[in-house]
A = this chain, B = another copy of it.
Amino acid sequence: MTRRGRRPANSQTRAAVMGAARETFAARGYLGATIRQIAATAGVDPSLVLYFFGSKDQLFRTVLTSSVDGRQLLSQLFDGPADELGQRLVTRFLRLWEGDAGATASALLRTAVTEQRFGTLVREHIAPAVTTTLVERVGVDPAQASVRAALLASQLSGLVLARYLLRIEPIASATIDWVAAAIGPTIQRYLTGALPTPPATAPPVLNTG
C-alpha cells in the first residue's frame, strides 16, 4: 500500500501552529497577522512555523484548505426541499460560522477584501462551486444559477460582515433563529423567486481598486 498525499503531521506542535494560525488570521487578516504572533499564540518558536509550512503564504493556504471539505459543506447547507429552504439555510450557515469552519472562513473573508490574490480564490473557486450546487441540489435553472448564487453571496457575506466582523447591533447579538426569520425570506427569493429579466451587463465605473 503506497502512501498518497501529505504525510502525517510531524508532531502535535504542527497542530498547535495550525490552530493558532487559524485564530490569528481570522482575527487580523493575512497582512495583520504575523508569524511571530502565531508562534507566540501556539507557544512555539517562530522559526518552527516556517520550518513546518515553508512560508506565510503557504501557511495561510494550508489553513484554508485543511479540514474543511467545501463541497460537502455546501451540500449540507442546501440539503432538503427547496420550499422554505431560505430560513433553514441561514440557520445552518450561522451555526457553521460559529464553529471552526467559521474561523477559517473569517480569515478568508477578511483577507479576500484586502489582498487581491485571495479575492481571486473566492471569485474563481467558491462562487462556481455554489453555482454548481444550486443546480444539482436545489434544482435551479442553470441559466439563472450564477445570478442566484451571486445574490445569495451578497446577502450572506453582508450578514457575516454585520454580525461577526463589524458587530453591528442588534444583529450581532440577536439569536440565530431571529436572524434566520428576518433574512430567510430574502434568501428564499434569491433562490427560487422571480428575478428581473436578463442580467444586462455593462461594466461599472471602477475606482476602488
Pairwise interchain contact A154-B164, C-beta atoms closer than 8 A: no
Assess A151 versus B103: contact at CB under 8 Å? Given A113-B165, A158-B161, A165-B113. no
Pairwise interchain contact B114-A110, C-beta atoms closer than 8 A: yes
Residue from B98, B161, B186, B204 in contact with A113 in the complex, judged by beta carbons closer than 8 Å: B161
> Which A positions have Cβ atoms within 8 angstroms of B?
23, 26-29, 31-32, 94, 97-100, 102-103, 106, 109-110, 112-115, 119, 122-123, 127, 146-147, 150-151, 153-159, 161-178, 181-183, 185-186, 189, 195-196, 199-209
Given contacts A23-B207, A99-B207, A154-B168, 16 further A-B contacts (CB under 8 A): A31-B31, A31-B32, A94-B204, A119-B165, A119-B167, A123-B167, A146-B170, A147-B170, A151-B182, A153-B168, A157-B158, A158-B159, A174-B202, A175-B202, A178-B200, A186-B186
Pairwise interchain contact A201-B189, C-beta atoms closer than 8 A: no
Q: How far is the CB of A169 from chain B (nearest CB, A)?
A: 7
Q: How often does this chain occur in the complex, in copies? A: 2
A172 to B123, CA, bound (A): 11
Can you list 9 contacts pairing A with B, beta carbon distance less than 8 Å?
Answer: A109-B113, A123-B166, A127-B168, A127-B169, A146-B169, A153-B158, A156-B158, A157-B162, A173-B204
